[in-house]
Structure formats: structure tokens, C-alpha cells
């Protein structure tokens, strides 16, 4: 019988949270004991139950993205009223509908192959030669390439360009780290954020004019969204699609290794989808989702008042199910809460799944388990992850 080693995996995950984001670590520790929904001083309502969290995410009349506590509040401060209206209004539905075909399973497979295939082939060669590769660094480069390709920005530059794209996204997201108690950005933070946005959107003007219709910026032009909103959406995508994807990939690679379940996956490759789902469930890279209470609401028997804020602690809601287990079936209570829910359910869910599956397939393509020979947790990041994850396959 295969023995699954849970404690090593849990220890490594805890270290990622502690090193990456002490505030998040403290919130998770405290919220473990608060029950399904509780009011916490300074933070607002904290929800840890998956069904209650989904109720909040599905109730768009009472819980909004924009307004104190909502994710869109920061975007509105950065990009103005038009972006605020976008998150809550008809434009949002229109853009999602127009872009839907770019995010299907099939489009995701094409996108991953087009933007990352060459890198994966090179990675496989290095592993076959017995070299050690840094999976964490690779995920950062691959995430930058993928998002650039999807937007219609140049996707064939040297790796260093995409490391910079990723680092800029990380810096912008990092500015949101002090917003646990309020999503109102101080003037200094706003100025720093605008400088990072200029860096991220450097090629957007040209791409908005010239990119093909199979890209996001090309679609924005066809919809006549205007350059300012297109810049906002490009930045949203650059943030939404990079850190979470890279974190989910490195952490799934580590979880499969640390729990000793590679042999089971090698013996039954049909478990690949389960391994990806479990990696996303246990790592839940978007550990907390914020919402603004737009109208009075009753959730889990508690009365929430308009103007308050809610933190949905998805990390706990999904992890309460149990440890990483590739034989675990789909869990109906959590569904895919790591991708959110309702109108703003992650648009890149298929892209994220395909990326992780592609990395696992590559690392196991020698037909033998891989070994993590060294690792380092990233420090002070919004999304906890590995700064470095050195992997090798014994020849
Ligand atoms: C492991 C990887 C990922 C995770 C865990 C994740 C998680 C999430 C979550 C939780 C939300 C909802 C936020 C909210 O409701 O406030 C979201 C939204 C979004 N994600 Fe992802 N994401 C991942 C990867 C990606 C990728 C690869 C892309 C793009 C290629 C992407 C694009 C988006 C976009 C555009 C939204 C906004 C959707 C909207 O507001 O309608 N995500 N993501």
C-alpha cells in the first residue's frame, strides 16, 4: 500500500504562507477558530464556509466588487470610474461574452502550446540529461509569455523580458497587501501603483491598434472599448493570470512530491485531472476574496449591513475538506471555489488547469518520479509561492 506523507507537505505549505504574507498567515490562523461566519474587529465579516462563500459570490445585488472591501475598489482608484462601472455593469457581461471563445478548454490548450510549448520541450531535454531545473522560475517566465500572447503583446522575446513582466505584476499586487483593513489606497501607494501600470502596459497602445481578433486587445478594439479601459483590462489580466497561475503550478508540483503520490499518478495517468484539481484546492492561490456589502443581507443567520465588508477565506473553505489526495473525487460543496464563483468566476480557469497539467506531464515524462533537491519560499508577496523550486529526475 502507498503511504501518503501529509506532514511534510503541510509544513512546506505553512512556510510559504508565513514567508510570503504574514498578514494572510495570521488571518488564516485566527479564522480557523471563528466558525462559518464571524465579525472580526478591523477586518469586517470573515466567512470560512464554502456554501456561505458561494452564496455571497452569487448574490450580486447585495455584494459588490466595487466599494470599500471589494477587489474592484482598487481597480477603480487606479483606472477611474469607467473601470468601476465595468466591474458592476452590463459592459462586464458583454466583454466576457465576446471573449468567451478565447478561454475554452480547446483555446486554452492551443494558447499553452503556442506560448509555452518550446520551453516545455527544452525543459524535458534538460531533465532527460539529468540536469536540475528551477520549476518556480520557469513558471514565472511561462506565465509572462502566456499573458503577453493572450493580450496580443510580443510573446517571442528573451526570458528576461517575461521575468520583468511577472515582477512588475508582483509589485503591483504587493501594493494591495496592506489592504486587509481598508481597500482605500493612500496617495503615495496610488502613485507607485500608476508607475508600475505604465511599465506593465508599455506595448498596449500599439497592440490595441494592431493586434489580431484572436487576442484580448484585438477584441477590445473590435468592441470599441477605448484605450483607457483596454489598458485597465490588460493590467487586470496581467495580474489575474500570472501570480496565481505560477503559484498554483509550483505548489502542485511540490504537493505531489511531498505527499509521495507521484508513483500513483505514474501508474494511472488517468488521475492527472484529479492531481491538478487537488493541487488547486489545497494551494488555493487566491486565498481570500473581498466583497463590499452593497445592501443589507442575512448570511448564515448573521445580519450584514450595507457599507460593511466581507472577506471570503477560500483557502480555509477548500482546505477543510482534507489533505491533498489524487484519489479524492470532485467535492460538490467546494466545487471550484479556488476560482471564485458567480459572475466573476475566474475567466482563465481552463488556462490555469491546462498549464498545471502540462507541467506535471513534462516532469513525469521520463516515466520516473522527480525529486525536489532544494526550495526557497518567496518573501513578501500577495500570493504565496516558491521563489525557487529545484527539481531533477535521476537518469
Ligand atoms: C491557479 C490559477 C488561478 C487562480 C487560483 C485564479 C483565481 C481567480 C479568482 C478567485 C477569481 C475571482 C476573483 C473575484 O471574484 O473577486 C479570478 C478572476 C479572474 N481570473 Fe483567475 N485565477 C487563476 C488563473 C488565471 C489565469 C491563468 C487567467 C488568465 C489567463 C485568469 C484570469 C482571470 C480574470 C480575467 C478574472 C476576472 C474575471 C471577472 O471579473 O469577470 N486567471 N481568478
Report whether pLDDT(2) > 60: no
In a domain, 1, yes or no: no
Report the chain's terminal Cα–Cα distance, integer Å.
26
Report whether pLDDT(123) > 50: yes
Pocket probe mutation, ligand 1, options 86, 102, 244, 255, max atoms within 8 Å of Cβ: 244
Give me the pLDDT at residue 3, please: 59
Q: Is 244 in the pocket of ligand 1 (CB under 6 A)?
A: yes
| Grid cell of 217 as nine digits | 486587445
Minimum-distance ligand 1 atom for the alpha carbon of 72: 16
Report whether pLDDT(163) > 50: yes
- Which own/partner contact pairs does 192-200 have at CB distance under 8 Å and 24+ positions apart? 193/78, 194/78, 196/168, 196/171, 196/172, 197/78, 197/172, 197/231, 197/235, 199/168, 200/165, 200/168, 200/169, 200/172, 200/234, 200/235, 200/238
pLDDT (average), residues 100-128: 97
Give me the pLDDT at residue 391, please: 98
Tell me the CATH number at 363: 1.10.630.10
Residues 280-333 pLDDT 10s: 999 999 999 999 999 999 999 999 999 999 999 999 999 999 999 999 999 999
| Grid cell of 160 as nine digits | 528576461
SS3 342: helix
| Separation CA 55–CA 239 (nearest Å) | 26
Report whether pLDDT(203) > 90: yes
Closest CA to 180 of 33, 72, 24: 24
Rg of the Cα atoms in the chain:
20
| Separation CA 303–CA 298 (nearest Å) | 5
Exposed e or buried b per residue across 98-112, where buried means at least 16 C-beta atoms within 10 angstroms of its C-beta: ebeebbeeebbeebb
Exposed e or buried b per residue across 233-245, where buried means at least 16 C-beta atoms within 10 angstroms of its C-beta: bbbbbbbbbbbbb
Domain of 355? 6-324+331-392
In a domain, 30, yes or no: yes
| C-alpha 236 to ligand 1 mean position (Å) | 9
Report whether pLDDT(35) > 90: yes
Pocket probe mutation, ligand 1, options 86, 112, 240, max atoms within 8 Å of Cβ: 240
In a domain, 294, yes or no: yes
In a domain, 277, yes or no: yes
Give me the pLDDT at residue 368, please: 96
Exposed e or buried b per residue across 55-87, where buried means at least 16 C-beta atoms within 10 angstroms of its C-beta: bbbebeebbbbbbbbbbbbbbbbbbeeebbbbb
**Please, which residues have CB within 8 angstroms of residue 229's CB and are 6 or more apart in sequence?**
79, 82, 83, 86, 220
Minimum-distance ligand 1 atom for the alpha carbon of 111: 30
In a domain, 341, yes or no: yes
Of 88 and 23, the structure prediction assigns the larger pLDDT to 23
Report whether pLDDT(144) > 80: yes
Which of the four pLDDT bands, split at 50, 70 and 90, describes residue 367?
A: very high
Q: Is 143 in the pocket of ligand 1 (CB under 6 A)?
A: no
pLDDT (average), residues 83-101: 89
Angle at 57 between CA 176 and CA 91, to 5 degrees: 80
| Separation CA 187–CA 2 (nearest Å) | 55
Give me the pLDDT at residue 273, please: 98
Give me the pLDDT at residue 96, please: 94
Residues 250-267 pLDDT 10s: 999 999 999 999 999 999
Q: Phi/psi at 334 (nearest 5 deg)?
A: -85, -25
* Contact call for residues 200 and 206 (beta carbons, < 8 A): no
* Mean pLDDT, the chain, integer: 94
Pocket probe mutation, ligand 1, options 275, 339, 358, max atoms within 8 Å of Cβ: 339
The neighbouring-strand residues paired with 309 are 292
| C-alpha 170 to ligand 1 mean position (Å) | 15
pLDDT (average), residues 83-108: 92
* Contact call for residues 367 and 357 (beta carbons, < 8 A): no
Closest CA to 190 of 178, 205, 204, 181: 178
Please tell me the total count of domains within the chain: 1
Give me the pLDDT at residue 1, please: 45
Report whether pLDDT(382) > 50: yes
Give me the pLDDT at residue 180, please: 67
In a domain, 186, yes or no: yes
Q: Is 86 in the pocket of ligand 1 (CB under 6 A)?
A: no
Amino acid at each position: 500500500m502507498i503511504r501518503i506523507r501529509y506532514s511534510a507537505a503541510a509544513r512546506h505549505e505553512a512556510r510559504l504562507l508565513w514567508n510570503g504574507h504574514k498578514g494572510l498567515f495570521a488571518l488564516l490562523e485566527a479564522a480557523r477558530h471563528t466558525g462559518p461566519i464571524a465579525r472580526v474587529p478591523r477586518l469586517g465579516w470573515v466567512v470560512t464556509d464554502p456554501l456561505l462563500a458561494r452564496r455571497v459570490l452569487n448574490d450580486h445585488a447585495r455584494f459588490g466588487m466595487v466599494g470599500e472591501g471589494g477587489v474592484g475598489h482598487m481597480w477603480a482608484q487606479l483606472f477611474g470610474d469607467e473601470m468601476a462601472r465595468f466591474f458592476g455593469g452590463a459592459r462586464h457581461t458583454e466583454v466576457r461574452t465576446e471573449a468567451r471563445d478565447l478561454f475554452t478548454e480547446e483555446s486554452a490548450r492551443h494558447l499553452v502550446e503556442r506560448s509555452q510549448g518550446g520551453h516545455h520541450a527544452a525543459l524535458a531535454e534538460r531533465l532527460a540529461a539529468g540536469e536540475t531545473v528551477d520549476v518556480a522560475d520557469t513558471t514565472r517566465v511561462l506565465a509572462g509569455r502566456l499573458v503577453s500572447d493572450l493580450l496580443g503583446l510580443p510573446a517571442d522575446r528573451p526570458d528576461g523580458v517575461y521575468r520583468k513582466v511577472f515582477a512588475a505584476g508582483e509589485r503591483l499586487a504587493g501594493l494591495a497587501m496592506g489592504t486587509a483593513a481598508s481597500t482605500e489606497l493612500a496617495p503615495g501607494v496610488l502613485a507607485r501603483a500608476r508607475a508600475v501600470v505604465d511599465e506593465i502596459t508599455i506595448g498596449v497602445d500599439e497592440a490595441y491598434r494592431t493586434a489580431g481578433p484572436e487576442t484580448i486587445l484585438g477584441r477590445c478594439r473590435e468592441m470599441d472599448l477605448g484605450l483607457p479601459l483596454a489598458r485597465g483590462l490588460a493590467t487586470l489580466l496581467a495580474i489575474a493570470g500570472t501570480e496565481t497561475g505560477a503559484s498554483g503550478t509550483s505548489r502542485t508540483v511540490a504537493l505531489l512530491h511531498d505527499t509521495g503520490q507521484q508513483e500513483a499518478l505514474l501508474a494511472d495517468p488517468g488521475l492527472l485531472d484529479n492531481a491538478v484539481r487537488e493541487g488547486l484546492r489545497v494551494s488555493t492561490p487566491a486565498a481570500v476574496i473581498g466583497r463590499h456589502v452593497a445592501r443589507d443581507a442575512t448570511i448564515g443567520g448573521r445580519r450584514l449591513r450595507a457599507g460593511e465588508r466581507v472577506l471570503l477565506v477560500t483557502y480555509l473553505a477548500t482546505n477543510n475538506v482534507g489533505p491533498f489526495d489524487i484519489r479524492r473525487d470532485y467535492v460538490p460543496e467546494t466545487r471550484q471555489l479556488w476560482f471564485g464563483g458567480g459572475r466573476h468566476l475566474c475567466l482563465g480557469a481552463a488556462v490555469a488547469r491546462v498549464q498545471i497539467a502540462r507541467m506535471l506531464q513534462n516532469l513525469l515524462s521520463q516515466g520516473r518520479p522527480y525529486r525536489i533537491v532544494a526550495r526557497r519560499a518567496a518573501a513578501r508577496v500577495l500570493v504565496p509561492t516558491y521563489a525557487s523550486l529545484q527539481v531533477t529526475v535521476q537518469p
